[in-house]
Amino acid sequence: MSALLFAQATSNSWDLPANIAFGIISVIAIGAALRMVTTDNVVHSALYLLVVLAAVAAVYILLGAEFVAATQVLVYIGAILVLLLFGVMLTKAKLGADEDLNYEQRWIGLGVSVLLLVVMTFSIWEEYGTKEEAKLVGYEPQRTQVVADSIFSTYIVPFEAVSVLLLAALIGAVVVARRD
Amino acid sequence: MLAFELGWAEWLVRTVAVLGVVLLPAGATVYLYLFKMVSFMQSRLGPMEAGPYGSMQLLAEVGKNLQKEDILPAKADRTIFNLAPYVVLSSTFLLALVVPFGPEAGFASLDTGSFSDRNFDGVGAFYAMAVSSISVIGILMAGWASASKYSLMGGVRAAGQLIAYELPLILAIVGVVIQAGSLSLQGIVYAQYEGEIFGFGAIGNPFIITQFVGFIIFMIAVQAELTQVPFDMPIAESELVSGYMTEYSGFRFLMFFIGEFATANIFAFLASVFFLGGWTVPPFIVDLLGITIDSNWFNLIGPAVMLTKMLLLTFIIYWVRFTYPRFREDQLQKFAWKVLIPISLVNIAITGFLKVAF
């Protein structure tokens, strides 16, 4: 692996430190993801998810997408994961191994992940496999203005659709939570 | 990014400086406010024995805590119990990374704004808000892994409180960001330096004037984020012993303690960047001194200016802390969701309207 990276670094404009960092982050992310589904404690599982999400944020920073990385930390770690841990600790959060956990859906889960892996690998390889610009080059940070412009021009329809969906979910949550 | 062009020596200096900026002001505020100011307010002397006026008391406290036995509760989840203080402290250090102390005096280049060519592209403000939420995870970890009812209740209370007060914290910043037109902390500093109030630019435009509502909301939310009195339900000592910190002792307790005070300082640094003009001094003083704002002098003056503003703001934080009694839990949640968040949303709407109008 490292020999391959060094060879790449000498042969063309690949950026060595970024590739090494990417390798380390990927190993951490994959390891934590595996432990997340195999561990026998719900809170441990949530904390391994934290590691996975943090690693994804690190990959975004590596790609120069700082705004997206900060969003990842704010939304996924700061909000969703905290709510998840909060819920787990309010209801049931055993210390030590939890025998009640079931793994009945593991084969379906495995099937779905393999399918996702194949589809994504295929589509990414089709699009970028032979192109130069797909390689990790430079650390030119992506300007926030560019992100904002593309959200509010190119992707305005999906953005509005998601907003309406979230609003509907919010109202739905209020309706469900109301007692009267 | 600038960072990759730095030499290793500069990296080393910046890394050590982060330690300095987290630990030294924390020690200063603990001595000045927690030891001396509160003693003055309660008509007593405070520590007087260790060193002149008890100034070495802090070192004595650190020594005491380091000598204590590191107790691990029998049923605790060992790994997570040990990791939790590090997670809390890492949030503090990540927060300190983006604070600008001068045109080039900063620690990391996440906030990529470059002062000399007026290029403010960074996402520092957004990043700071994002990493400040990591400490909740550490508190929840500590509360759960201690295997104690008090700790768990403290942890859950803390999570509920920090989720509620993170929103007004972020929404208060949005007004500042709209007015400055930049997410970069350097950009916000520059906008305040260059700004004018109805054509009068001698003191710039510190956003505490135009964003006064945002400033008040920010300081209240900071008080709650730090779980300081009157928002100290997570560690309410009369109800929960010491909340999520109950089972901690020795070095790990010291880490929570340092984390609490250092985070107060970093938030005060951030508040002075957002609302008090950051490391700059009013333009007429700069003119008087006969130097330009991006000259190297400000890498020296800047940290001192920031320190002054930080001490002023932490003074307010501790003043409030030692003055008011604790809220009730439902009052706390009501105050965040029904008062602070609506006001900050209105503030954002008005700021946006005025930004377009002018």
Alpha carbons within 13 angstroms on the beta-carbon side of residue B162 total: 29
User: Does the beta-carbon distance from B4 to A139 stay under 8 Å?
Assistant: yes
How many C-beta atoms lie closer than 10 Å to residue B245's C-beta?
A: 26
User: Does the beta-carbon distance from A95 to B123 stay under 8 Å?
Assistant: no
Angle at which helices A144-152 and A156-177 cross, to 10°? 80
A168 vs B: CB within 8 A: no
Distance from CA of B314 to the nearest CA of A (A): 25
User: Does the beta-carbon distance from A73 to B76 stay under 8 Å?
Assistant: no
Predicted pLDDT of residue B258 = 86
Predicted pLDDT of residue A161 = 94
Looking at the predicted structure, is the pLDDT value of residue A52 above 90? Answer: yes
Looking at the predicted structure, is the pLDDT value of residue A11 above 70? Answer: no
Counting one residue from A and one from B, how many pairs have CB atoms under 8 Å apart? 90
Q: What confidence tier does A41 reach under pLDDT thresholds 50, 70, 90? A: confident
Predicted pLDDT of residue A10 = 45
How many C-beta atoms lie closer than 10 Å to residue A22's C-beta?
A: 17
> Is B325 in contact with B230 (CB distance < 8 Å)?
yes
The residue type at B151 = S
User: Does the beta-carbon distance from A90 to B156 stay under 8 Å?
Assistant: yes
A96 chain-B contacts, CB cut-off 8 A: 77
Mark which residues 65-124 of A lie under 8 Å from B by CB: 66-67, 70-71, 73-74, 77-79, 81-83, 85-86, 89-90, 93, 95-96
**Which residues does chain B have with pLDDT short of 70?**
1-7, 109-117, 199
Pair of tokens at residue B124: 């520092």
A21 vs B: CB within 8 A: no
Predicted pLDDT of residue A167 = 94
Name residues whose C-beta falls within 8 Å of residue B302's C-beta, 6 or more positions apart in sequence.
Answer: B100, B101, B102, B103, B105, B279, B280
Which alpha helices (H) appear in chain A, and where do they start and end? 2-11, 16-38, 42-62, 66-72, 82-91, 106-128, 144-152, 156-177
User: Does the beta-carbon distance from B80 to A47 stay under 8 Å?
Assistant: yes
Residues linked to residue B200 through DSSP beta bridges, in sequence order? B197
Secondary structure of residue B200 in the 3-state scheme? strand
User: Does the beta-carbon distance from A89 to B144 stay under 8 Å?
Assistant: yes
Predicted pLDDT of residue B115 = 67
ipTM of the complex: 0.80
Question: If we measure between CA atoms, which residue out of A72, A57, A69 comes closest to residue A25?
Answer: A57
B56 vs A: CB within 8 A: no
Q: What are phi and psi of B200, to 5 degrees?
A: -105, 105
A33 vs B: CB within 8 A: no
B178 chain-A contacts, CB cut-off 8 A: none
User: Does the beta-carbon distance from B131 to A73 stay under 8 Å?
Assistant: yes
Predicted pLDDT of residue B124 = 81
List pLDDT tens digits, range A89-148.
877 767 767 777 777 788 898 899 899 999 999 888 887 776 665 555 445 566 777 788
B40 vs B241: CA distance, rounded Å = 26
User: Does the beta-carbon distance from A141 to B112 stay under 8 Å?
Assistant: yes
Predicted pLDDT of residue A1 = 35
Instruction: Compute the CA torsion angle B287, B293, B297, B302 (nearest 10 deg).
Output: 110
Residue ranges with strand state E in B170-260: none
Q: What confidence tier does A2 reach under pLDDT thresholds 50, 70, 90? A: very low
Q: Nearest by CB to B77, which of A66, A89, A95?
A: A95
Q: Residue A142 gets which letter from DSSP?
A: P
Pair of tokens at residue B223: 């008080």
Predicted pLDDT of residue A31 = 92
Distance from CA of B182 to the nearest CA of A (A): 9
Q: Nearest by CB to A66, which of B4, B110, B170?
A: B110
Q: How many helices, marked H, and strands, marked E, lie in chain B?
A: 16, 0
Residue ranges with strand state E in B199-350: none
Tokens 């008040």, residue? B216
B interface test, pick of A67, A86, A139, A174 with most B CB neighbours within 10 Å:
A86
User: Does the beta-carbon distance from B159 to A85 stay under 8 Å?
Assistant: yes
Predicted pLDDT of residue B343 = 92
Residue, of A48 and A2, whose pLDDT is higher: A48
Q: How far is CA B73 from CA A94, B216, B231, B255, in A?
A: 15, 41, 28, 18
Looking at the predicted structure, is the pLDDT value of residue A175 above 50? Answer: yes
Q: What are phi and psi of B167, to 5 degrees?
A: -60, -55
Distance from CA of B162 to the nearest CA of A (A): 10
